[in-house]
Amino acid sequence: MFDRQKKGDRAVLVLPHARGEGDAARRAGEFTELAKSAGAEVLGVISARVEDPNPRYYIGTGKADEVAEAARALEADLVLVDHVLTPVQERNLEKHLGIRVVDRAGLILDIFAQRARSHEGKLEVELAQLKHLATRLVRGWTHLDAQRGGAIGNRGPGETQLETDRRLLGERVKMLTKRLEKVQVQRGQQRRSRLRNTVPRVALVGYTNAGKSTLFNALTSGGVYAADQLFATLDPTVRKLEDLSCGPAVLADTVGFIRELPHDLVAAFRATLAEARDADLLLHVSDAADEERERLHRVVDKVLEEIDAGEVPQLQVMNKIDLAGAEPRIERDGTGKPVRVWLSAATGAGLGLLRQALGELLGGERVQSALQLPLSAGRLHARLKAAGAISGETVDEHGWQLRIDAPRSVIAPLSGGDPTETRLLRQLLAVAE
């Protein structure tokens, strides 16, 4: 037994991998960046081949001894393991090493806790942390183990403390869940308002550190924090996207994805991920200079499927062409539809091509035209207004002069069966064609 230190960031990294794992070097570099993003000072890195996970430590006993020796020699106070450990494995490793052990999920949760800025983001992170902690609660009370022995009079206090802690944790989870539900209702109302206004919705998705926030700022002057680090942006940010041939759109920046993202975290960040799920188009941002971009692209697609956003249309954005030595261009499929844009968000090269592609993809089915409505067509005017299809209007003794800007799918069903309204809408749709 040992007293767990609450502080300390001098870390030894343990990198489990299987035989023949092709991306071991990439995973090692990514985990090192994760550790540094959390504020850890990386003292050493130990690779551990794991073909059949040890149920006690996950890594083998010999490798656990090697880690213990390295931690003592380097005077480390923390071991970070690049794998999701079971509570038992984490607790056993801590006892064997005599210092804190944090697995991959715990490390990512810690980074999220540091980076969350909005009230909603902080609630989501704390909720995910508490759910992660619930199964590991016992390890925080190792100083009470002696009181849980078999001696008369010493059986109760440790168990009582644990039960009290579990009850308090459960109450906190319920309270956070209720608070988060209220915040999500408010965000849902904002999202529904955008839906009613029929403004096209675009969401940026991609592997963390692909340059999504830099691209977001370049397109919208949104002022979102952007840095060359993992998970620089956590909280969803929505801004208006102007200067498109199809009219204005709404652009949302979302949290970066990463392999083996903790399930509790995916579940907690429903509001952020909902921006991707409810979008009309996803801008899937990739690092053009990354040799493994295709594999990372598949990682993002897998997460999108997990949040029911796998069927949302995508436009792939190959960012950082200034580092890849590529030229800005648009790639199209056999029908001429844009499928990939090469650009640099940092230098601005290719941003005009991206706006062009967005205008083509979002404006193909959009109605933008003038409409003259007589005063007798008040019900149709009300329906057009409720649908958010009117971008401007004037009225005189002859009726309304409207400027219509809305998807064709919104305009077509608004006649309500009235012959005059049906004729007016048919005229509008014919002019738009």
- Residue 291 pLDDT greater than 70, yes or no: yes
- Residue 417 pLDDT greater than 60, yes or no: yes
Look at residue 147 in the predicted model and tell me its pLDDT.
42
Which of 277, 203, 192, 206 is CA-nearest to residue 238? 203
CA distance 367 to 432: 6
Q: Tell the burial category of 325 from Cβ atoms under 10 Å away from its Cβ (0-12, 13-18, 19+).
A: exposed
Tell me the β-bridge partners of 402: 371, 393
> Regarding predicted confidence, which is higher, 184 or 27?
27
Look at residue 1 in the predicted model and tell me its pLDDT.
44
* 280 close to 267: Cβ distance less than 8 angstroms: no
Which amino acid, 48? Answer: A
* Three-state helix/strand/coil letters over the chain: CCCCCCCCCEEEEEEEECCCCCCHHHHHHHHHHHHHHCCCEEEEEEEEECCCCECCCECCHHHHHHHHHHHHHHCCCEEEECCCCCHHHHHHHHHHHCCEEEEHHHHHHHHHHHHCCCHHHHHHHHHHHHHHHHCCHHHHHHHHHHHHCCCCCCCHHHHHHHHHHHHHHHHHHHHHHHHHHHHHHHHHHHHHHHHHCCCCEEEEEEECCCCHHHHHHHHHCCCCCCCCCCCCCCCCEEEEECCCCCCCEEEEECCCECCCCCHHHHHHCHHHHHHHHCCCEEEEEEECCCCCHHHHHHHHHHHHHHCCCCCCCEEEEEECHHHHCCCCEEEECCCCCEEEEECCCCCCCCHHHHHHHHHHHHHCCEEEEEEEECHHHHHHHHHHHHCCCEEEEEEECCEEEEEEEEEHHHHHHHHCCCHHHHHHHHHHHHHHC
CA distance 152 to 141: 20
Look at residue 153 in the predicted model and tell me its pLDDT.
43
Side by side, the strands of the sheet bearing 78-81 are: 41-49, 10-17, 78-81, 100-103
Look at residue 215 in the predicted model and tell me its pLDDT.
92
Q: Which two tokens stand for residue 216?
A: 């977001």
Q: What's the whole-number mean pLDDT along residues 260-280?
A: 66
Confidence of residue 257 (pLDDT cuts 50, 70, 90): confident
Of 117-131, 142-156, 321-335, 381-395, the least confident? 142-156
Mutual angle of helices 87-97 and 61-74, in 10-degree steps: 50
Q: What's the whole-number mean pLDDT along residues 30-58?
A: 87
> Regarding predicted confidence, which is higher, 95 or 110?
95
Residue-wise pLDDT tens digits, 56-101: 999 999 999 999 999 999 999 899 999 888 888 988 999 999 998 9
Total-model pTM = 0.63
Residue-wise pLDDT tens digits, 203-220: 898 887 788 888 998 998
- Residue 23 pLDDT greater than 70, yes or no: no
Look at residue 146 in the predicted model and tell me its pLDDT.
43
Q: Which of 31-45, 106-120, 149-163, 337-351 has the highest mean pLDDT?
A: 337-351
Which of 204, 42, 171 is CA-nearest to residue 107? 42
Q: What's the whole-number mean pLDDT along residues 186-212?
A: 71
* 386 close to 251: Cβ distance less than 8 angstroms: no
Mark 405-420 as b/e (b = at least 16 C-beta within 10 Å).
bbbeebbeebbeeeee
Q: Which two tokens stand for residue 419?
A: 């012959």
- Residue 140 pLDDT greater than 50, yes or no: no
- Residue 197 pLDDT greater than 70, yes or no: no
Look at residue 152 in the predicted model and tell me its pLDDT.
41
* 433 close to 425: Cβ distance less than 8 angstroms: no
Neighbours of 27 (CB within 10 A): 17
CA distance 233 to 114: 11
Q: What's the whole-number mean pLDDT along residues 188-202?
A: 62
Non-local (6+) Cβ contacts of 73 within 8 A are none
Which amino acid, 345? Answer: A
- Residue 9 pLDDT greater than 90, yes or no: no
- Residue 353 pLDDT greater than 90, yes or no: yes
Neighbours of 175 (CB within 10 A): 12
Confidence of residue 343 (pLDDT cuts 50, 70, 90): very high
Look at residue 106 in the predicted model and tell me its pLDDT.
84
Look at residue 8 in the predicted model and tell me its pLDDT.
60
Percentage of the chain with pLDDT > 70? 73
Look at residue 141 in the predicted model and tell me its pLDDT.
42
Across the chain, mean pLDDT equals 78
Non-local (6+) Cβ contacts of 299 within 8 A are 207, 257, 258, 259
CA distance 323 to 311: 31
Neighbours of 261 (CB within 10 A): 20
- Residue 429 pLDDT greater than 80, yes or no: no
> Regarding predicted confidence, which is higher, 297 or 37?
297
Q: What's the whole-number mean pLDDT along residues 315-343?
A: 93
